[in-house]
Structure 1
């Protein structure tokens, strides 16, 4: 896989994960990634930050279309916005991965 032709997108949160919270963040990563069908969240150990990553395979000299690139960017932003709060709850507030995910996925219905 030395010459993989792909477009790789990575978005890192400005959220340092302490050693004390790393295990719970890894649990949350697993729970969050179960919810995704494109891309994934990962822990960048070198910087201790959570990041979202996804790739588009461009084998055989294919070129990414603007629609594909826009789709990747939209997917990344939506997922980062959707799950950032859960990572905050684990890192800063000390919640468990399950509690944090349940809070982040809570959606209200109706009108006020």
Structure 2
């Protein structure tokens, strides 16, 4: 991910800074209003749909990263188990499965009430974490949904930390 210059201008609206980050990475995006920004990002395994909403009355910024996968109704119980195990390992954010359409989403809200704005590093870390965790959990989802692998084996393989590069 392209990092922003440290001297980025603080704004009352953190979506202004997120828009700079998205533009710096040449991600397709749309800023439909002062309170919402959506972007399309290519991950390691699939495309991700990032949606961010600024709630000025709450002083909070919500970020979600939806994976390009739909969970068949017959696999939802196993995927709920998988996401519960994945969420236990997360320090930031959590995964949800939308019950009606079977969409998978990584979500996180950043409380900013009383802060003078969001730090560039804070925003970069949040977006990096969302993309990293989605890339990590995607293979486990595929193992469970299409490979009929046991949840424990799938999560162990997906959450294994590797050292070095091949």
TM bin (shorter chain): 0.7 to 0.9
1:103 shift after superposition: 1.6
Q: 5 Å matches for 1:1-112?
A: 3-60=57-114, 62-108=116-162
1:47 shift after superposition: 2.4
Unaligned runs of 5+ in 1: none
C-alpha RMSD of matched pairs (Å): 2.0
SS at match of 2:77: helix
Q: Which has the higher strand share?
A: 2
Higher relative contact order (CA 8 A, sep 6+): 1
With structure 2 as the length reference, what TM-score do the two structures score?
0.60
| Counterparts of 1:62 and 1:111, CA distance in 2 | 40
1:44 shift after superposition: 1.6
With structure 1 as the length reference, what TM-score do the two structures score?
0.86
1:77 shift after superposition: 1.0
| Counterparts of 2:135 and 2:164, CA distance in 1 | 21
Larger radius of gyration: 2
Q: Which has the higher helix share?
A: 1
